[in-house]
């Protein structure tokens, strides 16, 4: 479903432009002068809606980063003209489209470089790329050693390529101990020096992710990559919170039915909840088919009229049931907050993650196309 402005929907996510701008301004102001920001909008902007988010943050960023060729081309289709970097590997068959759209791929093998160069030559263009360096995560990237230097030389020698940038990725910068992160920084710094000694000087080096930005690690290069922090979420609960980020997304639904449940009545599939006393039960129009965690069955809560209401029984594909015995004003049409604030009550992403046994990024990324993202 296309992201759109809607006043009513069975379930919808509100995306706060004000919070997006607040978070970007906090990060911008915390960085050394002249450091550029790349906005990471992969996985549909971590479930927030890539087109909407990219439009909101484009005054603050010099680059956009995505994971895949499809995501990069989608940004272009939405009218985003700023440079776009695909952080993950792409197929050889994608290179012509990427070159045509002036999208930078990540390169770390000679075969990739050859395929990209051929695609660029065919189109009569130069193709900019960013070299991915593996400083310890062992996901993608060439090794920052003598062989890596020789490989970088061979990659840069392809005639239709422009060695624009180089990057690595912090994989433990969100931990109390920064020992691993310091080692990654040193490896990257030494590798950049070795390349410079061979006459290779990429114009944009970047290493800091959201955790690096918040910890001011790797923020002294040319650019940083802001990811989850854009959306007002901290990379890990154990991190210090030096910036007062504001959550961007809240999730809402509506009461569609209210019933009186007698003592002994069972609720939802499998009858895993049985009422010990008479209760009022509200049906809410959201389920795991929308990306709401089924693992919140019998233990999650929702907010109705500013009060916490426990989920009863199993979360269904399209609906769930909640106890409104203490919410006499609950009725058909009552708004329901699944994530976010209602009056003084608030359900945080961290609470949902802890109760559901899932990673907090995952909850956002799993909100699917049945959930409109509403620009607010």
- What pLDDT does residue 241 have? 73
Domains of the chain: which residue ranges? 17-231, 249-375
Instruction: Express each pLDDT in 115-158 by its tens digit.
Output: 999 999 999 999 999 999 999 999 999 999 999 999 999 999 99
DSSP 8-class letter at 364: H
307 counts as catalytic = no
- What pLDDT does residue 237 have? 74
221 counts as catalytic = no
Type and span of the H or E element at 270? none
Confirm if 188 and 145 have CB atoms less than 8 A apart. no
DSSP string covering 5-38: --S--SEEEEE-HHHHHHHHHHHHHHSPTT-EEE
> Which residues make beta-bridge pairs with 249?
15
The backbone torsions φ and ψ at residue 227, rounded to the nearest 5 degrees and listed phi first, read: -115, -100
Give the integer Cα–Cα distance in Å for 114 and 157: 10
The one catalytic residue among 42, 221, 231, 288: 42
Q: What is the mean pLDDT of residues 214-235?
A: 95
What sections of 160-209 are H helices per DSSP? Answer: 179-197
Give the integer Cα–Cα distance in Å for 366 and 376: 21
Instruction: Express each pLDDT in 73-83 by its tens digit.
Output: 999 999 999 99
Q: Which fold has domain 249-375?
A: Lyase, Ornithine Decarboxylase; Chain A, domain 1 (2.40.37)
The one catalytic residue among 82, 122, 259, 269: 269
Confirm if 223 and 38 have CB atoms less than 8 A apart. yes
Angle between the N-to-C axes of helices 146-156 and 110-123, in degrees from 0 to 180, rounded to the nearest 10: 10
Closest CA to 37 of 89, 85, 91: 85
* The CATH number of domain 17-231 is 3.20.20.10: yes
Three-state secondary structure string covering 305-361: CCEEEEEECCCCCCCEEEECCCCCCCCCCCEEEEEEEECCEEECHHHHHHHHCCCHH
Q: Which band of pLDDT confidence, cut at 50, 70 and 90, is reported for residue 198?
A: very high
Type and span of the H or E element at 95? helix 95-100
Q: What is the mean pLDDT of residues 65-73?
A: 98
Give the integer Cα–Cα distance in Å for 186 and 308: 49
DSSP 8-class letter at 118: H
Q: What is the mean pLDDT of residues 240-264?
A: 95
Give the integer Cα–Cα distance in Å for 325 and 280: 5
Confirm if 217 and 211 have CB atoms less than 8 A apart. yes
């Amino acid at each position: 479903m296309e992201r759109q402005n809607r006043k009513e929907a069975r379930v919808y996510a509100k995306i706060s432009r004000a919070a997006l701008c607040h978070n970007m301004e906090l990060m911008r102001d915390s960085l050394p002068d002249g450091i550029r920001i790349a906005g990471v909008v992969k996985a549909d902007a971590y479930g927030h809606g890539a087109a909407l988010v990219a439009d909101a943050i484009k005054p603050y960023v010099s680059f956009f980063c995505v994971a895949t060729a499809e995501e990069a081309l989608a940004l272009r289709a939405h009218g985003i003209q700023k440079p776009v970097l695909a952080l993950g590997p792409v197929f050889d068959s994608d290179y012509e489209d990427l070159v045509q759209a002036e999208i930078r791929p990540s390169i770390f093998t000679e075969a990739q470089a050859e395929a990209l160069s051929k695609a660029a030559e065919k189109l009569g263009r130069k193709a900019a790329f960013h070299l991915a360096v593996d400083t310890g995560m062992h996901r993608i990237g060439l090794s920052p050693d003598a062989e890596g230097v020789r490989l970088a030389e061979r990659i840069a020698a392809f005639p239709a390529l422009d060695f624009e940038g180089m990057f690595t990725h912090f994989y433990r910068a969100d931990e109390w101990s920064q020992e691993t992160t310091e080692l990654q920084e040193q490896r990257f710094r030494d590798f950049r020096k070795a390349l410079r000694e061979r006459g290779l000087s990429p114009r944009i080096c970047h290493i800091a992710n959201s955790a690096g930005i918040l910890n001011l690690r790797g923020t002294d290069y040319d650019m940083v990559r802001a990811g989850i922090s854009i959306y007002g979420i901290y990379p890990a609960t154990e991190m210090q919170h030096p910036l007062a980020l504001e959550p961007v997304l809240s999730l809402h639904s509506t009461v569609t039915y209210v019933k009186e449940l007698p003592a002994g009545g069972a609720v939802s599939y499998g009858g895993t909840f049985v009422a010990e006393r008479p209760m009022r039960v509200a049906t809410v129009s959201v389920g795991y088919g929308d990306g709401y965690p089924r693992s919140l069955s019998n233990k999650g809560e929702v907010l109705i009229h500013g009060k916490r209401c426990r989920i009863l029984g199993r979360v269904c594909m399209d609906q769930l049931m909640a106890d409104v015995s203490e919410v006499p004003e609950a009725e058909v049409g009552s708004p329901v907050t699944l994530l976010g604030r209602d009056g003084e009550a608030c359900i945080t992403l961290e609470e949902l993650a802890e109760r559901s046994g899932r990673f907090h990024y995952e909850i956002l990324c799993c909100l699917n196309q049945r959930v409109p993202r509403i620009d607010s």
